[in-house]
Amino acid sequence: MNHTPSATPYGSLPPASPMPGRKPINLPRLHEMRARGEKITMLTAYDATFAAVADAAGVECILVGDSLGMVCQGMPSTVGVSLETMRYHVESVARGLQRVQGTAWVIGDLPFGSYHASKEQALHSATVLMQAGAHMVKLEGGGWTTETVHFLVERGIPVCAHLGLTPQTVHALGGYRVQGRDDAGAAQLQQHALALQDAGASLMVLEMVPAALSATLTQALPRCHTIGIGAGDGTAGQVLVMHDMLGINLGKTPKFVRNFMQDSASVQDAMRAYVNAVKNGSFPDNTQHAW
Ligand code: KIV
């Protein structure tokens, strides 16, 4: 007897293999994209359906970001997000992608406090997210994180670094501000970025970093591909929080966001428009979305 329900009243996932001929994204494919100058696209998603829709739209990397603390849980910042919450959402995203035979690369965000105590704690937390279905983990900050990144990479866990505005340390930074604006800040960012590449980080989110500095860092990091958010058009790829690019940010929309839903008939169309705009270089526009 077949117990698979043919339809549910709660929404179903899009058809399998949405992109004909598209192979699962992995690190060598991301390196190839960089080598041929093709921009890498990343979007956040936190559940099975949105992950499947993003995958069908051609998004290469799905970040299960701890921004879910704000957009899903209604928290004032990402600081209160727990590892168990991240595990639940990574598992939901991975399950959704598996259901549609999706090809996206899944990045699980290590939340505040889950990698700070020791390298061993970071390994434990990363293992939880990898076993939930992540292909890579992301952690914020430079300097002290370098050793942790090396420790994880040595043990076969791909790592995405995150520099510039690091939301988990918003209280120490004094707000959501552009980072690396003065010479000392720029030099420190460069030093941290190079050390993280040497430690083995394969991707690096650059958040709210001046466009010229991001472009310089990108050139200086041939083995670690920069993914910008509010960092201009000179990075190897772009990321946005899904709710922002769908125009459902209930607060003040950050300058670096474009609402792709405005001229789209569906969420999938909006995500496809985002992918196309990043690939053809029309988003971000340095005159509007960068510093
Ligand atoms: O948590 C998140 O969604 C992020 C992105 C803003 C890059 O870290």
pLDDT (tens digit, 9 = 90+) per residue, 172-189?
999 999 999 999 999 999
Is the beta carbon of 242 within 6 A of some atom in ligand 1? no
Is the beta carbon of 241 within 6 A of some atom in ligand 1? yes
pLDDT-derived band at 152, boundaries 50, 70, 90: very high
In angstroms, rounded to a whole number, what is the distance separating the alpha carbons of residues 124 and 66? 18
Per-residue model confidence (pLDDT) at position 289 = 97
Is the beta carbon of 86 within 6 A of some atom in ligand 1? no
Catalytic residue list contains 207? yes
Q: State the Cα angle at 287 between 45 and 274, rounded to 5°.
A: 25
Pairing of strands 40-44, 61-64: parallel
Per the CB < 8 A criterion, the answer to whether 54 and 25 are in contact is no
Beta-bridge mates of residue 222? none
Of 61, 52, 159, the closest CA to residue 105 belongs to: 61
Percent of the chain with pLDDT over 90: 91
Is the beta carbon of 63 within 6 A of some atom in ligand 1? yes
Lowest mean pLDDT across 98-102, 141-145, 283-287: 98-102
pTM of the model: 0.96
In angstroms, rounded to a whole number, what is the distance separating the alpha carbons of residues 151 and 133? 20
Is the beta carbon of 65 within 6 A of some atom in ligand 1? yes
Is the beta carbon of 67 within 6 A of some atom in ligand 1? yes
Relative to the CA of 66, which ligand 1 atom is closest? 1
- Mean pLDDT, rounded, for 201-222: 98
pLDDT-derived band at 18, boundaries 50, 70, 90: low
What's the gap in Å between 67 CA and the centre of ligand 1? Answer: 6
Digit-coded pLDDT (tens) for 82-139: 999 999 999 999 999 999 999 999 999 999 999 999 999 999 999 999 999 999 999 9
What's the gap in Å between 15 CA and the centre of ligand 1? Answer: 28
Q: Is the pLDDT of residue 1 over 50?
A: no
What's the gap in Å between 107 CA and the centre of ligand 1? Answer: 10
What's the gap in Å between 256 CA and the centre of ligand 1? Answer: 13
Beta-bridge mates of residue 108? 64, 137
Nearest CA to ligand 1 atom 3: 65
